[in-house]
A and B are shown apart, each in its own frame.
Chain A
Amino acid sequence: MASSQPIPATRARSRMQRFFASEFFHNYKRNLSAVLGSLIVLGFLVMVTIGPLIVSQNPYDVSQLDLMAAFKPPAWLAGGSSEYWLGTDGQGRDVLASIVYGSRISLIIGLVAMGGACLLGTTLGLIAGFYGGRLDAVIMRIADIQLSFPSVLTALFLMSAFGTGLDKVLIALISVGWVVYARTVRGSTLRETQKEYVQAARVSGLPNRKIILRHVLPNVLTPLIVVATIQVGTFVLIEASLSFLGVGVPVTQPSLGLLIKNGFDVLFSGLWWVSIFPGLFIMLLVFGINLLGDFLRDELNPRLK
């Protein structure tokens, strides 16, 4: 009998090649807003990874700051310096450098919190949908209660209870964000467990744990891609609101939101650039993420096709 090796012919075409030949990529290429969105997001990712190596100063290294250069306007205005493209703040921090570092913190918070919320929500949603009954009722009622509060308010409560700090922000965001995964996953789990392949796994004698991990989980993940993408944007905004309200990240780790707050005090003294530029960057980031999310929703939701 022939030995059973994987068939080289199908393997010859790499994953990458198959992706570029796929309908998904074909539609992506022709969708201007999807391309724009992903370019923006990609731009931010590049900026936060290699940006700190390029910008002239580390705005949080006091030794690099020059108080003499405080409140310099952007380079193209009178009194501006080509050293500080987007001007400086009251401590002589380069606004552009602050934005690069701030975006890094904002994005890390958004991504980590999204990951945590996704993990928690997916686990709870799988349990609720698969086992049903009382467990399901309890989990989903908690989710309902959670949803009846505005998310910023919930986060604000939690922050005032636990205090501020990066970890507290993450906890607040995760406890706000898990619900959407739990509900989505529970719905898909209910649908998938009705399908015959799950029944076949039961008939084969698979324990529930294996059925959930091997059969249900892989089949409920696709809709989460959309939720997760958009949620990164939402989290960046919530975190910015919290920081703006003074209950977010500590001043030593300023996010884009904290930058806006810092500049807000001097906004009406004509020193607009200190908070407007971070604001524009938040807007751009969330805009890009949402464009990408919309495209993914159209592509991955079979009902819209």
Chain B
Amino acid sequence: MSNNEQHSKPLLRVQELRTWFYTFGGLVKAVDGVSFDLAPGEIMGLVGESGGGKSMIGFSIMGLIDPPGRIEGGRIEFNGKNIAGLSEDEMRVIRGKEIAMIFQDPMTALNPLYTIGNQIEETLALHTALSARERRAKAIEMLHKVGIPQPEQRLSHYPHQFSGGMRQRVVIAIAMIAKPRLLIADEPTTALDVTIQAQLLRLMRQQVVENGTSMILITHDLAAVSQMADTIVVLYCGRIVEKGPAEDIIARPRHPYTRGLIDSIPHETAENDGPKQRLSQIPGNVPDIRKLPPGCAFAPRCSRASERCRMQDPVLMEHNAIAMGSGKLRPHAVACHHPLAVSP
């Protein structure tokens, strides 16, 4: 495959993905018709609040949906091949080698009973034909790369001997050691302190850029996403409400929900000597996903909602946006009957 072709073709193409959960309380459409492309080397941020379905997209791609949930429809094309509905055995070959995942709680990814050396080398033993000595050398090199001091000694330590931030570095080392083509990071820094968080975001970006890995960063933290991502996908109640180039989404959000999310973050301009300004807030609560209203799911909380919004589902429509700096036209899509105007 030539270089050019590689760039034009997405590494991951998710089409009309529907992941539903059949619970006692009703049908939970956790992911309901989500489509996006991810180019090689691209960093995509998946943002939304709890219940938005962002984690379930990651789990669906990894083939980690367990009953009562199942992938109800749609395709997940990885490298041109549909991996939705592959068997556990087939997925196991892809997981770890081709697609790696990092979770919020590093303890869930590390086995407390094995040294981290064991765990890093195990990944290598599974996916490469290296000798034991080569594996050890590689593990040391990798620990060094993710910024763990004295990697030779640390290899024989157990996860509980590491701090939270160091553990997450180990997890990143394990995830990146097989040089996966796609890294899915699900709230990787949420449990960590800001100073550590910044260190780890830098580390992840550096690793991803170095290896040409594509990345999906799943988080509720709009600020962190805006620092990292090339493109942003905003989810609400299992559907994409807006997607586009990161700078464009942050600077010129077109969906009222995205706008609301951005404005909810207390920002610097809010400080003045007089009485504090109220934060602009999104009224109401995220609706029960089992009992979504007809039409746009955001309509009950939206100040722009009209009769049409309460009747008819808005579809994701593309508007071309000029990506900052490059001057290139890149698609910016929004699912709204009354999108916000594109004033600068």
Contact = CB atoms under 8 A, between A and B. Distances in A.
B22 to A, nearest CB: 13
Nearest to A24: B24
A23 interface: yes
Nearest to A27: B24
A30 to B, nearest CB: 11
Interface string A14-53: 0000000001001000000000000000000000000000
Contacts of B25: 23
A247 B24 CA distance: 51
Interface string B21-35: 000110000000000
A23 B23 CA distance: 10
Nearest to A26: B24
B284 to A, nearest CB: 21
Q: Range of interface residues on chain A?
A: under 10
A162 B236 CA distance: 70
Contacts of A23: 24-25
Contacts of A26: 24
Contacts of B24: 23, 26
A23 B24 CA distance: 6
A26 B23 CA distance: 12
A53 B124 CA distance: 75
Nearest to B25: A23
A88 to B, nearest CB: 52
A23 B22 CA distance: 13
A300 to B, nearest CB: 15
Interface in A241-287: none
B340 to A, nearest CB: 39
B286 to A, nearest CB: 22
A161 B24 CA distance: 55
Interface in B260-298: none
Nearest to A23: B24
A26 B25 CA distance: 11
Interface in A159-207: none
A298 to B, nearest CB: 14
Interface in A101-138: none
A299 to B, nearest CB: 12
A94 to B, nearest CB: 48
A257 B68 CA distance: 46
A26 B24 CA distance: 9
A37 B341 CA distance: 66
A23 B68 CA distance: 14
A280 B327 CA distance: 86
A118 to B, nearest CB: 30
B95 to A, nearest CB: 25
A5 to B, nearest CB: 26
Nearest to B23: A23
A26 B26 CA distance: 13
A28 to B, nearest CB: 12
A26 B22 CA distance: 14
Interface in B225-275: none
B23 to A, nearest CB: 9
A23 B25 CA distance: 8
B66 to A, nearest CB: 12
A163 B16 CA distance: 77
A17 to B, nearest CB: 16
Interface string B167-197: 0000000000000000000000000000000
Interface in B1-41: 24-25
A121 B25 CA distance: 36
A7 to B, nearest CB: 20
A43 to B, nearest CB: 29
A23 B26 CA distance: 11
A193 B24 CA distance: 31
A149 B25 CA distance: 47
B26 to A, nearest CB: 11
B330 to A, nearest CB: 45
Q: Which 3 residue pairs spanning A and B have beta carbons closest together? A: A23-B24, A26-B24, A23-B25
Interface of B: 24-25
3 contacts: A23-B24, A23-B25, A26-B24
